Amino acid sequence: MKAWWDTFSPRSELRLLSVKEGGQTIGVAPLQTEDGTARLIGSADVCDHLDLVAAADKKREFCEYLISRLKNEGIDHLDLGPVRPDSVIMTVLLPMAREQGLPATAIGEDTLFELALPPSWDGYLSLLSGKHRHEVRRKLRRLAESGPYAFRMLDSPEAVRSGVDDFLVLFRQNREDKARFMDERMEGFFRSLAAGVPEMRIGFLDVDGMPAAAVWCCDLRSTRYLYNSGYDGRLGHLSVGILCKLLSIQESIARRLNAYDFLKGDETYKRQLGGKPVRIYRCRIDLSSAHKPH
């Protein structure tokens, strides 16, 4: 969020609300406010899902205080998204708002794909359909027959920072839309992530000793999040793009991670690699008016 705020400098006002009970923080609402509307810090173009932060046993107390505080401060609308169905916003804040007679909506606006990781590579392959399992093995065999290859995951802050240049080259290389997306300001955002978020990772598939494909990931609480990727189009016939993602899954299993989140987007490969769809919502709460709940 800090990288996003520092890079894109929105016109809105920064509003970080921390709620304490008995000297202990029970929740944090990282908000930006503008013209009577409060939103979570971030934007859907670079943030796949957002949420409030609340202690597991104090979510209701935190949300009650948040609604009351924002109403007293003259905030008329909460516009919150994108959020997962298991978020604090969806499971606690929206139901509470409706209990108080506040108009609240949740509209599905996108889909992410996630995968529960088994403890072994063979266990992962068994999750795939027979057709896709065969394709995985065929692609890996063809890559091995083409020459030496290796997958490496950069996982220290210093290594990640040093790998950004190679990642950006691969990211911009083949698609005009990606090249347009990765303008100077967006590059600055990615570099800020690499410099400021210790959980960031960059994985490279090297072919003949040269980077052929890359994945930008974040490892957090036993889940690997696939944030973005790129590949060398000259090696597209070897399927280096999808194989880099596949080897990232393999490396996640070796690290004993529990889940692999492909994040937003309905790309075919996410289903082929075992991802299961999860709906993402945009939520709105009108704090300025209330009606009696049914």
Q: What is the pLDDT of residues 199-234, one digit of tens each?
A: 999 999 999 999 999 999 999 999 999 999 999 999
Q: Return the ∠ at Cα 285 (arms to 35 and 99), rounded to 5°.
A: 145
Number of domains in the chain: 2
Q: In the prediction, which pLDDT does 293 show? A: 46
Q: Do 98 and 133 belong together in one domain?
A: no
Q: Do 90 and 142 belong together in one domain?
A: no
Q: What is the CATH number of the domain that holds 92?
A: 3.40.630.30
Q: Do 157 and 205 belong together in one domain?
A: yes
Non-local CB neighbours of 100 within 8 Å, separated by 6+ positions: 67, 290, 293
Q: Which amino acid is it at 145? A: E
Residue 13 lies in a domain: yes
Residue 10 lies in a domain: yes
Mean pLDDT for 151-163 is 97
Q: What is the pLDDT of residues 242-265, one digit of tens each?
A: 999 999 999 999 999 999 999 999
Residue 12 lies in a domain: yes
To the nearest whole number, what is the mean pLDDT of the chain? 95
Q: Do 17 and 129 belong together in one domain?
A: no
CA distance 93 to 97: 6
Which pLDDT band, with edges at 50, 70 and 90, does 290 fall under?
Answer: low
User: Which pTM does this prediction carry?
Assistant: 0.92
Domain range holding 104? Answer: 2-108+281-286
Name the maximum alpha-carbon separation found in the chain.
Answer: 70
CA distance 184 to 192: 12
